[in-house]
């Protein structure tokens, strides 16, 4: 199977032989540049990451295992690995946006924090500093209530929760901003790798919750960034 | 297929030909006498109900459709039909127990009330008047909070909820008494006839929740009655 | 089972005996007043609808069958039934918002239009006139391309599609605004009542798609309305 | 992502930076203090366990792998590892309750004993010595019958069984006390990791069985402890 | 679509135009002649039944609805309808076999009797009078024990049970003969139309149980008849 | 958790402390003595195997991994390990039965042979030499046809097949003897670990097929042995 | 929701207000013009069918219920209803193609014929007369063998089968032409509405089988027609 | 279990003792000689590969892990390992067919390339050089459009895609040739190992798509080769 040489088309497509990147997606759809590491070989990833570093724009690689990081990041100073989030990002991440209201990432249990941090770094790659409220599972509702004042001022909320994922429903009944639910695979037995939380969130009795794939912190943040990009939403004069 | 004649064995088995009743189960296990109407023909049910009325003890028939009730209850004054609960019970239901703390049935939405009432009548057939707290779904948490003082004094709580069933997790983090969760088939789409609520409840992040089959208000009340029957649980002197 | 008399608490809870309404939810969370008709009896619905009409605010009842409409709407001039959308709404629906960019509801096939119209009326009850782009399934991509200029200017897009639901992925790669995917139960065999579309949308290769429950046009519109309510998202000066 | 310093709120919340503990849950809901080890990193667990040891109250960490135990327990004399149960508990576990009737943990096969022992240690952490009846699967009913006299005197019974989980139904028809069924993942093929046992127990033909998540020995014991805490259930004079 | 005329091939194939029958199957495989009524139109069934009556051998049509019976059986004296079993059989069913040990059909609940009777008539069409033991569900084990002496002498046992299907495991541990388990769709909620019983039976902890499709009383009896046809199994001299 | 000392009850129950054996099962139900190795620790298995060797009767341990065999079998001359079948059996396996017609194990592909051999050794432990017909998958029907004469003389046939499991249906239409289908987990993708074969076999269009759990060669042979034990099936004189 | 007036774009899109047709699809992709009736209202269908009749090209409407046909076809002589196939087609269906080798539709049981006929009419609308081989299920292999000579000369074969769908595997091992498998929903219990046949066909041990959605006779024929359209496949000189 | 000696029957069956090969399948059905490595032991594979090399015809072994390749390929110069495709093929692969129109393999993402390459080598073993179009996922539709001219000239297209698999629907609406969809297991969470893509492809709104098992690049190519073998499809003169 022959492979094309590296050249970049005017619509942003970059052919690296082992892979082909769609570098125009960011400008077309408003989401940050990102690579899903899982399912790619070390060789493929190395080629992709080197090309992205060379390009000089912030980017993210998700679902990046610790072993792989130790194999690939030595001698690549342009890359930084975040262990809990399992992401690699470009070393330079300027905070280019100063929002009046920030997105807030809310997570239910300690084990959900990894997915929450994947979302956090997705915001950071887009130049946004998101708020973080961790360990406010519904089994101890007072924890959530203590933070509710802060949460009511959020621009958009990401709810990251495994097990039954009830936090999404509870929070959606309390805040006016959009709420994106991220089910996680935290749990065991009949959680079926996140299916229980996913179904719970899809069936939320509080209207207006939308849902991402299981463990998809990146996708949830990307959706939130699209909302934050809605700059001309104000009413017509 | 020949059928035996009607006679009652000493261990409480009663052979009605079309069906055979286990009348000793109540004394053996402490649950009320009950018949599942669904899956039985009108003929079978009529024979069973007549035998139970004749016996003179309180009993319950569950999942009893309205059409069937209009066919079978005419001319049977010993039977009463409860439409919302879809149960038939014996006309005489003495309140024989006066509990210091009562069981309370909590339901999330209006559509969950039918299952809650099946539980209610199961308690009544056992001589117990249960408390009822309806329409306290987690999308409006203040509704639940307004009743929380009352709920904290319950002997045992039944949580009846469809959709994502989050009410079980929320309540289990707030009360000290045992909590039995009853998922209902209320919902649509990815609720899959109650599976979403069932999984949510099985994966409750609040420990100590136990779960019944979908829509099984009777079973949940039966379990609660077994708990209320624990009469000698007090510590040894 | 005794039932409370009708009285409204200061937090907006209204007890109607057969049901209890959470009338404060709109102001708390920004979504329109809505009732899920499915799973409620005619009696319960009638009591609820009469109370809502009396209150004089716009509202919606969803999943309202045609038979039920013919039973309940005679003699209730304050209510209007929309057959394709299977909703009942209050007769008065003022257009109170004049947006610079409107939400657009995109549907894939003719059979998906009912769900799209449920979303349409949810916007209308909130005082918003949404755009509608119908029958642009991906099997004829030119249909979508003809409308893409219009779609790129949307404030937010709802994609309503059954079968494989591919429209969400295709569109998400073409537009910068947030995109809410609504899987429908249109299809047969291995569509499993909308599961194929639901999974397809959750796994969209285009980042930033969020998903609602199957056939949940109301919920998608409610989420979009929450986004449109984000009034102070502009950057800090 | 910055992390808060360690401080304990008056409602029992303790912020450890890497995790936040809800230390008030025990007094609020009556269940023992417990940590789910699975899904947490060694670092997170170490911080949590050290904080719990320092606090001086009995506690439990469940689903604690043998490898992890050998990494973390050296030099921590306040912790004890139970291999079969895969739990770590505080070294001091006073037996503070002397019950007239004890809870009994019944398990079906040798492979189910691990889950049964997780339940056993949950009781111990709460100061209760539970009874244990092992290897009484229904394929050899005489084994169960030999113990039935003992089981009929139990305060509450936990049934731990994998494969088809039939033991729950059989036992529930024989004893008057509440019965909590714990499906285990023991089995292969169409046991689907415990789903067969879970469904079997949810559909028990013997009324009054309630069910926990698969392999959730801790949760079942926590529910039983809540029942044992029902101290004022005696009838009103 | 043209249709062939009626003619019978020497290997027993009979072409009826609307359908083609495999009349040699009985002699080839030892099972009784049977037709699955479900999924066929009235026209197709009428043609098939008339051909079978004309042939003069015993036969069975299963899953035959009551409505259809009233439409098709008038004026066809060669056919008999059994309502509970939902089968139609040829009027003449000689008892041609006189077995030293008979097959016994054991059913758990009253609602399982229909499937049990489908099995019964399958035996009858093969000239065998099967034993019947009904309503011996495991929730009342004493019922089963009372019949155990009789069951231990069976040639082969069919266990017909819905809900959790535990009867198969219990009985398989008590008897030496082969045991064929027939899960039924009796149950609700998480019984999922018989899946719970099916999985329970496939995972029976008692070895040597084999299983049929849900509600397949005919198939179970056919398998048992094949066993009864094993005439030369005796040890070599 | 204290453990009882080793003693054998008169009904064959043997308490080994770490496990309890039901040694009376063989005589009660006619199946060979067997232990499921999976899910037991090395310690537990060692105790059980030593007790069985000491007893001097043939026995089998199934699902016995190669690693475990190398750990446990050294210095235990009474045990033999069969790699492909993943079983351990007692060294002495006398052929005590000389059948006029033998059971035959038919397998579809090379990868199914392991499960077929588990069945083979189960027969051997019971003193029976089964026939073996391997690699006769339906994709090459002539392979099966070449052996059909031999198969038509079998006492009972075990069909072991993965993927779509069609071999069971094809063979069941060709032979008169009972046929037990054993789905295997051979396959990938939508075979779902054997579910495709399991469902295919349960829905066999050829009547009289019964089915075992996925990969359960032992169970299928145990069922066949029960059939071979039907010694008094001959017609009454 | 306003609706556009009827006008046809140059790429074949026709806006009918209630629906929009993609009339260019046939020329673009080579499949016949077809409408899925299910999920559309009578009004929508009537508008679509009238427009198609007026256009004068052959077309098909699938999944067309008998009731609907009696409501809509009166007074529309340009339409013909085929009851078993549940299709409506245009009255004029010229046979425009005279193939050296024809496609053959093979079906397993009588109940599968409806789906087979849907495929038949799809070919007819494309001007092709397909061969038909019905009732050759694998339980009677000789039926299939009698037709195998004819089948080996087919251009392409459609295999229509429910239950376990084994016919696809068997046939695929016997013929050289492409084979398209169509699982049907024929069956009950664990056939799960065609899932068993679908999985069986996807996992066929005979390579080169491709599969359509359950009951999708139309789609299978459309795929076959695409193959027959491969006119320039001959080797280069 | 005794094993036959090696000998080849006239219908192409070759008995290797550890396995039996069906060498006549290629001529019977037109698909290339192939072995599924997964599920076979090293010993079995070595025997099979050696026999195939000795025979001197091109062949393929699929799902061949890298570790196994390093164990088995040393000293076997007749075998070549392709890492990305995870296949081993015979060293000699002559290009024996010179097609006027070639098959083209289209893949959506970089991670799907392995499955695409399995298909590529299947064509090569059959003497065909297939075209390859990689990384044209629908999230960047312009990528696909750039290649559409080339794709419209294909003889047949294989679409290899994971996640939601939307590429199949999009492409099927654009090209006239047959299209075979290959879902891959690329994705996570609710992709369920390829189920989302599989369902999406089965429910394609573009008619005429047929589908293979998940990750089955070999099977898709085999089906395409069967189509390319349709040499006499041209219309009759």
Q: What is the C-alpha separation between F227 and E176, in angstroms, rounded?
A: 9
Binning pLDDT at 50, 70 and 90, where does residue H8 land? low
Q: What is the C-alpha separation between B7 and B2, in angstroms, rounded?
A: 15
What are the residue ranges of helices labelled H in E2-41?
25-29
Measured in whole angstroms, the distance separating CA G18 from the mean position of its chain's CA atoms is: 26
Higher per-residue pLDDT: A22 or F146: F146
Q: Give the lowest-confidence range in B13-17, B151-155, G107-111.
A: B13-17
Distances (CA, A) of F17 to C79, D119, D124, E64, F64: 73, 19, 21, 55, 22
User: Distance (Å) from the C-alpha of residue F142 to the closest C-alpha of chain G?
Assistant: 9
Q: Minimal Cα distance from B184: which residue of E?
A: E189
Contact D207, B218 (CB under 8 A): yes
Using a CB-CB cut-off of 8 Å, the residues of chain A touching C206 are 29
Q: Tally Cβ neighbours within 10 Å of residue H109.
A: 25
Q: Work out the percent of chain H whose per-residue pLDDT is above 90.
A: 75
Would the CB atoms of F213 and D110 count as touching at under 8 Å? no
Binning pLDDT at 50, 70 and 90, where does residue H26 land? confident
Distances (CA, A) of H125 to C222, G174, H31, H33: 56, 21, 10, 8
Residue H154 token pair? 């294909």
Query: Which uninterrupted H or E stretch holds G88?
Result: strand G87-90
DSSP state of F7: E
| Phi, psi torsion values for B12, nearest 5 degrees | 90, 5
Q: Best of A166, A174, A184 to disrupt the B interface by mutation (most B CBs within 10 Å)?
A: A166
Query: Which of D134, D140, D188 minimises the CB distance to F22?
Result: D140
Helix (H, G, I), strand (E, B) or coil at H45: helix
H151 touching C (Cβ < 8 Å): no
pLDDT tens digit sequence for H84-132: 999 999 999 998 888 888 999 999 999 999 999 999 999 999 999 999 9
C193-201 average pLDDT score: 98
User: Distance (Å) from the C-alpha of residue A131 to the closest C-alpha of chain H?
Assistant: 25
Would the CB atoms of G143 and E36 count as touching at under 8 Å? no
C169 touching H (Cβ < 8 Å): yes
Predicted local confidence at residue E2, as pLDDT:
44
Strand spans (E) along A40-92: 60-62, 79-82, 87-90
Contact E149, E176 (CB under 8 A): no
Predicted local confidence at residue H7, as pLDDT:
62
| Phi, psi torsion values for E130, nearest 5 degrees | -85, 155
B151-171 average pLDDT score: 96
Q: What is the C-alpha separation between C122 and C226, in angstroms, rounded?
A: 12
Per-chain mean pLDDT for chain H: 90
Predicted local confidence at residue D8, as pLDDT:
65
H164 touching F (Cβ < 8 Å): no
User: Distance (Å) from the C-alpha of residue E81 to the closest C-alpha of chain G?
Assistant: 21
Binning pLDDT at 50, 70 and 90, where does residue F17 land? confident
Helix (H, G, I), strand (E, B) or coil at H161: strand
pLDDT tens digit sequence for E66-90: 999 999 999 999 999 999 999 999 9
Q: What is the C-alpha separation between G131 and G175, in angstroms, rounded?
A: 15
Strand C13-15 relative to strand B179-183: parallel, antiparallel, unpaired? Answer: unpaired
Q: What is the C-alpha separation between E16 and E39, in angstroms, rounded?
A: 17
Got the DSSP string for H114-142? HHHHHHHHHHHHTT---EEE----GGGHH
Name D36's bridge partners.
D62
pLDDT tens digit sequence for E154-205: 999 999 999 999 999 999 999 999 999 999 999 999 999 999 999 999 999 8
Residue A182 token pair? 């991220």
Query: Which of B139, B142, B162 minimises the CB distance to C11?
Result: B142
Would the CB atoms of F84 and H41 count as touching at under 8 Å? yes
Per the document, the length of chain G is 237
Chains in contact with chain H (at least 3 beta-carbon pairs closer than 8 A):
A, C, F, G
Confidence check: pLDDT of G162 > 80: yes
Closest among F128, F82, F83 to F105, alpha carbons compared: F128
Would the CB atoms of F1 and D120 count as touching at under 8 Å? yes
A76 touching H (Cβ < 8 Å): no
What are the residue ranges of helices labelled H in G152-216?
167-172, 195-202
> Burial code of C12-35, b = ≥16 C-beta within 10 A, e = fewer?
bbbbbebbbbbbbbbebbbbbbbb
The ipTM assigned to this model is: 0.93
DSSP state of B194: G
Q: Give the lowest-confidence range in C179-188, D79-88, F102-111, F134-143.
A: F134-143
Strand E179-183 relative to strand E156-161: parallel, antiparallel, unpaired? Answer: parallel
pLDDT tens digit sequence for F55-102: 999 999 999 999 999 999 999 999 999 999 999 999 999 988 888 889
Chains E and A touch (3+ CB pairs under 8 A): no
DSSP state of B111: G
G117 touching E (Cβ < 8 Å): yes
Would the CB atoms of H233 and G177 count as touching at under 8 Å? no
Q: Minimal Cα distance from C44: which residue of B?
A: B110
Q: What is the C-alpha separation between D198 and D182, in angstroms, rounded?
A: 8
Predicted local confidence at residue A3, as pLDDT:
43
Closest among F196, F167, C138, H173 to G183, alpha carbons compared: F196
Full-model pTM: 0.95
Measured in whole angstroms, the distance separating CA B78 from the mean position of its chain's CA atoms is: 21
Q: How many CB pairs under 8 A join C and H?
A: 116
H14 touching G (Cβ < 8 Å): no
SS (HEC) of D156-215: EEEEEECCCCHHHHHHHCCCCCCEEEEECCCCCHHHHHHHHHHHHHHCCCCCCEEECCCC
Query: Which uninterrupted H or E stretch holds G149?
Result: helix G141-151
Q: How many CB pairs under 8 A join D and F?
A: 55
User: Distance (Å) from the C-alpha of residue B187 to the closest C-alpha of chain C?
Assistant: 8
| Phi, psi torsion values for E88, nearest 5 degrees | -115, 135
Per-chain mean pLDDT for chain B: 90
Q: What is the C-alpha separation between B212 and B219, in angstroms, rounded?
A: 7
Strand spans (E) along B162-226: 179-183, 209-211
pLDDT tens digit sequence for H138-167: 988 889 999 999 999 999 999 999 999 999
Q: What is the C-alpha separation between C182 and C193, in angstroms, rounded?
A: 13
Residue E153 token pair? 């002498």
User: Distance (Å) from the C-alpha of residue C215 to the closest C-alpha of chain G?
Assistant: 13
Contact C155, C132 (CB under 8 A): no
Per the document, the length of chain B is 237
């Amino acid at each position: 199977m022959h492979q094309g040489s590296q050249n970049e088309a005017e619509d942003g497509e970059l052919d690296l032989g082992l892979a082909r990147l769609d570098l125009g997606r960011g400008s077309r759809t408003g989401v940050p540049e990102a690579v899903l590491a899982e399912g790619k070989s070390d060789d493929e990833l190395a080629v992709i990451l080197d090309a992205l570093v060379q390009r000089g724009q912030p980017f993210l690689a998700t679902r990046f295992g610790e072993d792989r990081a130790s194999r690939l990041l030595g001698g690549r100073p342009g890359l930084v690995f975040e262990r809990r989030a399992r992401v690699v990002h470009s070393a330079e991440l300027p905070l280019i946006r100063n929002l009046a209201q920030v997105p807030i990432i809310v997570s239910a249990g300690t084990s959900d924090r990894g997915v929450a941090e994947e979302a956090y770094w997705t915001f950071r790659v887009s130049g946004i500093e998101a708020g973080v409220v961790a360990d406010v599972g519904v089994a101890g509702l007072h924890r959530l209530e203590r933070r509710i004042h802060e949460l009511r001022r959020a621009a958009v909320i990401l709810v990251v929760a495994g097990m039954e994922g009830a936090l999404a429903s509870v929070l959606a009944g309390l805040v006016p901003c959009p709420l994106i639910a991220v089910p996680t695979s935290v749990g065991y037995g009949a959680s079926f790798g996140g299916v229980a939380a996913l179904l719970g969130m899809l069936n939320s009795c509080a209207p207006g919750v939308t849902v991402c794939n299981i463990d998809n912190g990146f996708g949830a943040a990307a959706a939130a960034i699209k909302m934050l990009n809605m700059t001309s939403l104000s009413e017509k004069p």
